Amino acid sequence: MSRHHLYSFLRFLLVIAIVVLGAIALYYVSTVIYPFIIAFFIAFFINPLVDFLETKAKMPRWLAVVVTLIVLFALVAGLVTLLIAEIVSGTQYLANVVPENFQKLVKYIETFFAKQIIPLYHDLAALFKNLDASQQDTIMNNIQAVGTQIATTVGQFTQRVLQNIPQLLTWLPNAATVFIFSLLATFFISKDWYRLTGMVQKILPAKAHKSGKRVFLDLKKALFGFIKAQATLISITTVIVLIGLLILGVDYAITIALIIGLVDILPYLGTGIVFVPWIIYAAISGNVPFAIGLGVLYIIVLVQRQIMEPKVLSSSIGLDPLATLVALFVGFKLIGFLGLIVGPVTLVIIRTLHSANVFRDIWNFIIGKPAS
């Protein structure tokens, strides 16, 4: 092996070591300073409004930040209040409707047991009596084993739930602490946004600053595009569900459509959280046509989501539809539902780094080529 190839190999190992150690360090550091990371992203999102208030309304920077945070907090509190009010209204509606439907459900179950389960039980009992003693013992042992397994599973699940209650109670003070630190950090970061960015520009070399700025702008465009894409998909789902529920004559159709639209943030699982139990309940309670209508509406929502998601994401983020589809699938297979977000974001980062010639510069460093 020549000296040139040896140095190239050592530089390649150095790049790999820097990437791996950097990722590990970033992970462990983020577990400690995550309130400030949250604050940075909040400051990043509210910065346009702060700039607008500072320049157009002639406010001091600190006052513009305070007003923006108050407006943001008021919007979130208003949305939560509206949601709680709708839940209370829906609960009152269910309190009036559920007892009658529950009685229908009980009568249906009683009829089902009388006509289906009891005759089947008698047939199985007669068949069981005709078996040999060894066969009867085998069946009973299997039934006992299944019962024991079910009891063990239920017991373990109950134990986990009870054990997690103290953890949930201890999480609340931590959540309050994180909220306070994030709020304070957001104020200081947003107030000194341009001073901090100026410090970063002075620290970074000119070439790194140029490449980093391009990466940052592309990621900013992709991030807002991703949020726009998700808002578009949720809006489409909400409109489709609203139209379907109005056709089916469902009460509180607007509220239910808004709730389904919100849970649609969880792809695949989202709308199913509402639709699947609703369809099963409608079918068991004997309202089969309504259950079929809900099933058709659920299928329409699923199909449009799968068709529109790659197209909307690709147009909003600027990615190829096929590459977006591959990123969605690979992300989902690797880390589950979170991968449906991480996949496209990773693809955007790779594309942005490639556009900024970061990979080319790394390769030139490995082979020992002088920087251009």
Tens-level pLDDT at each residue, the chain (372 residues): 567 677 777 778 888 888 888 888 888 888 888 888 888 888 888 888 888 888 888 888 888 888 998 988 888 888 778 777 766 666 666 566 666 666 666 676 767 666 766 676 667 677 767 767 776 677 777 777 777 777 777 777 677 766 666 666 666 677 778 888 888 888 898 888 888 888 877 777 766 667 677 777 777 777 777 777 778 888 888 888 889 888 888 877 777 788 787 777 665 566 777 788 888 877 877 778 888 888 888 888 888 877 877 777 776 666 666 777 777 778 777 776 667 677 777 877 787 777 767 777 777 777 777 655
In a 13 Å sphere around the CA of 343, the CA atoms on its Cβ side amount to 22
| Beta carbons of 219 and 349 less than 8 angstroms apart | yes
Judge if pTM exceeds 0.75.
Answer: no
Q: Round to whole Å and give the CA distance between 117 and 112.
A: 7
Ramachandran sector of residue 58 (left: φ over 0; alpha: ψ -120 to 50; beta: rest): left
Residue 247's nearest CA partner among 300, 304, 293 is 293
Q: Round to whole Å and give the CA distance between 80 and 88.
A: 12
C-beta atoms surrounding 239 within 10 Å = 12
